[in-house]
Amino acid sequence: ASPAPARISALSFALVDKSRNDQLTVPTGYTARAFYRTGDPIGTPTSPAPAAYSNVGTDAASTYTQRAGDCHDGIEYYGLNDAGTAADYTGGNRRGVLAMNHEYIVSQFLHQQGDRDGAPGSAKTATEADREVALHGVSVVEVMRQTGGAFSATGTWDYNVTSTFNRRITALTRIEMSGPARGNPALITKYSPAGTHTRGTLNNCGSGYTFWGTYLTCEENWAGYFTRNTTTDNANRGGSTAKSVISLNRYGVTGDRYRWGTLAAPDAATMATNAVSDTGNDRFDRWNANLLALDRSLDYANAANTFGWVVEIDPYNPNATPKKRTALGRFAHEAAVMTKPAVGQPLAVYMGDDSRGDYIYKFVSQATWSAADVAPTSLSANRMALGDKYLDSGTLYAARFNADGTGTWLPLTITNPAIVAATNYTFSDQADVLINARLAGDAVGATRMDRPEWGAVNPLNNEIYFTLTENNSSGTTGRRGTTAGSGNVIDAANPRYFSDARSATSTTTAATNTGNPFGHIIRIREDANNPASLSFTWDVYLFGAQADADPTRVNLSGLSTANDFARADGLWFSDATNIAWIQTDDSGAFLDQTNCMMLAALPGSVAERRALTAQAPSTAVSGSTPVGAELAATFAGATVTASTLRRFLVGPRDCEITGVADTPDGRTMFVNVQHPGEDTAAANVVAAAGTAGAGDFNSYWPAAERAPGSTANINGPRPRSATVVITKDDGGQIGL
Ligand code: FEO
Ligand code: CA
Ligand code: CA
Ligand code: CA
């Protein structure tokens, strides 16, 4: 076992500058190497891996369930012993299993004909849709130090092409519905007349790790995948006041993001079989049409209700059926993280709903923690049964952040008087509350946040962190007002609103500078360190900003060129080093200065901040106008230095850095690079050789990198998402 390190007091690695080059940069003394790229083949002893990925869109669709998915995101590491025959949670430093999400796809790089989403006269083909469906979901893939494809304790990290652990879970995989909503009429579909199963998982964003050794994958922007003609659908459902219409509107189900619904209409015989073999795409395109029959047991009217959940997977058992844990509520799940369990106490799972003005949640288990349940080492242990024990029964809460630095967990229960009395929606039972958790959060008066993304727990003190990535909505959009249409109302927990968040040197337009475009990170300390506490204290740990922005209103954390950033999204603490790792997903606020990045942080604690500033977050920041100098006073003590926040990695162009995990000894780190080159002009991908723009992509990573500063068209291969393995050249722990 790795000894728990003493808390380090300063970061000292060679910091990495902001960069717009098409390359991935880590500090001097570190090595980073991309592997397990989009389309890379995986196999098992009984199902050999397909051929290498062409990366020009010529691979047969049938091979894609044995290829790495696209847009890698949340990731967790599960150790194995050197022989690969037992789970090893503390010594598995040379061999293990990675579970990772494939959030979405960059269609234009996947097909010979590029991206044909909805382009008139160039409809997507069934082959293209089949590839795209398979490139969603989750990978479980064995990784190990190896030489010549065989395990070697001193070899090079790579994935194991042929492994009993290798597995793809896609948008078509059979998944069980578990917990209070299982069997509820709102989950009944043609595929599962009993409401107990669904097919697939979609838009898997952040992740989580359970103390019994399973993987949690979180369904985020699933709402965009379901076809819905709101005029006819609303009418069929009984109009705008019908419960299902209120729900669909609150969750934004308007969909058909990749035009899967425009093709592969099932034949009558297929529809009649009502069987597991029922083809997959029909739930997207037939969903609306089937409403005409108004026979909910034979259609897909409820298909969207089977998405929006936290899904549990046993990475050690490829035969275990994944389960959607409905007790944790349905929303645009970003990630799911737990505080350290204490024997005899319940578990708490913390979760963000990534939408402008949506909520932070926690689930408290009914079962109390037993030390006997920690991380079984037998590969055949029934870890999913432990998930049943801890994640199927309990209470869901939404957070209210008070202006005095305290907070309240508001129970989302059918007996809560605020839910009984709800005027926005009439809840019928607890399953209805969980399926429509957002509406329940509305009813109890939870605090609307600036897009809650990943949570993370500081292993030193059990404090819970959440990135609030941004809120650039202006005027009356974005649900930021206290009442519909009231515009952006700031509050103590979401205190910045600007029309000029950039410095005088800014070259970006005002539109991307409006609101809280650089985001912030908030943290929570449960009263008495009790996971079941109904009250907490909180503060703002960090504000994103450009270093030369106004220090009294904007750059409140005193960021310098060593650590300025925009839009924190990924967030994770290493148990080995206690370093917090912050990853960015910037789609505009800071992209004129730098590609997305990962920073290392030593964040201190809420208690230290309170001692330093002798004040709670101030009521002075509440109000409806952009705040002034009082904000700097309120957050005095929140400043960081290059020793406590330091840029570690900058990715290639158009990428997001998201998802990070390490080996138990902290000496090997895995980081996901998502969608390099995503904003490449679509025409350039399919332009004939020699014509304007042909081969001119924004990124060629990871196969090739542009020379620093060069804008030359190097006609390289199509870019791919990939996992990056990082080691320190002296063999030391990452970040120390
Ligand atoms: Fe998929 Fe909220 O990031
Ligand atoms: Ca994210
Ligand atoms: Ca994001
Ligand atoms: Ca992204």
Q: Which residue has the tokens 């927990």?
A: 493
Q: Which residues surround ligand 2, an ion (CB under 5 A)?
A: 205, 569
Q: Determine how many CB atoms are found less than 10 A away from the CB of residue 39.
A: 24
Task: Name which of 327, 332, 336, 320 is nearest 366 in CA terms.
Answer: 327
The amino acid present at 282, given as its one-letter code, is D
Ligand 1 atom nearest residue 220's Cα: 1
Is the CB of 453 inside a 6 Å radius of any atom of ligand 1? yes
Over its C-alpha atoms, the chain yields an Rg (Å, rounded) of: 24
Q: pLDDT at position 476, please?
A: 39
Q: Is 656 in the pocket of ligand 1 (CB under 6 A)?
A: no
Cα gap 420→438, rounded to integer Å: 15
Cβ partners under 8 Å of residue 344, min gap 6: 368, 369
CB of residue 358 inside a 6 A radius of ligand 1? no
Q: Is the CB of 42 under 6 A from ligand 1?
A: no
Q: Tell me the mean pLDDT per 10 residues along the chain, length 736.
A: 62 96 96 98 98 96 95 98 97 98 96 73 74 94 97 97 97 94 92 89 97 98 82 84 93 78 46 38 42 41 92 98 98 97 96 94 98 96 98 98 90 98 95 98 93 95 95 53 50 76 55 77 94 93 90 85 97 96 93 95 80 47 39 62 96 97 97 97 88 90 78 82 98 96
In sequence order, the 6+-apart residues with CB closer than 8 A to the CB of 313 are: 99, 138, 140, 169, 214, 215, 216, 217, 320, 322
Ligand 1 binding pocket includes 470 (Cβ within 6 Å) = no
ipTM score of complex: 0.91
Q: Is 103 in the pocket of ligand 1 (CB under 6 A)?
A: yes
User: What is d(CA 57, CA 393) in angstroms, rounded to the nearest whole number?
Assistant: 45
Distance 335 CA to ligand 2 centre (A): 8
pLDDT for residue 559: 95
Q: How far is the CA of 524 from the centre of ligand 2 (A)?
A: 20
Torsion over CA: 21, 27, 29, 33 (sign): negative
Quick check: CB of 569 below 6 Å from ligand 1?
A: yes
Q: What is the pLDDT of residue 505?
A: 53
pLDDT at position 233, please?
78
What is the C-alpha to C-alpha distance for residues 146 and 256, in angstroms, rounded to an integer?
A: 43
Rounded to an integer, what distance in angstroms lies between the CA atom of residue 383 and that of residue 364?
A: 19
Tell me the C-alpha to C-alpha distance, in Å, between residue 515 and each of 10, 233, 475, 480: 33, 34, 9, 10
Q: In what order do the strands lie in the sheet with 323-325?
A: 197-199, 174-178, 323-325, 310-313, 215-219, 204-209
Residue 478 Ramachandran class (φ > 0 left, ψ -120 to 50 alpha, else beta): left
pLDDT for 556: 84
- Residue 290 has what pLDDT? 34
* Ligand approaching nearest to the C-alpha of 204: 1
pLDDT at 9: 85
Contact present, 450 and 475 (Cβ < 8 Å)? no
Report the nearest-CA residue for atom 3 of ligand 1: 205
Using CA positions, which residue lies closest to atom 1 of ligand 1?
Answer: 205
Q: How many CB atoms lie within 10 A of CB 409?
A: 25
CA pair distance 679, 240, nearest whole angstrom: 37
Cβ atoms of 368 and 344 closer than 8 Å: yes
The one-letter amino acid at 461 = N
Q: What order do you get walking across the sheet with 568-573 strand by strand?
A: 568-573, 580-584, 597-601, 645-650
Pocket of ligand 1 contains residue 334 by CB under 6 Å: yes
Quick check: 383 and 371 in contact, CB under 8 A?
no
CA of 150 from ligand 4 middle (Å) equals 34
Query: Given this model, what pLDDT does residue 20 score?
Result: 93
Domain ranges of the chain: 30-220+308-679+694-728
Q: Is 22 in the pocket of ligand 1 (CB under 6 A)?
A: no
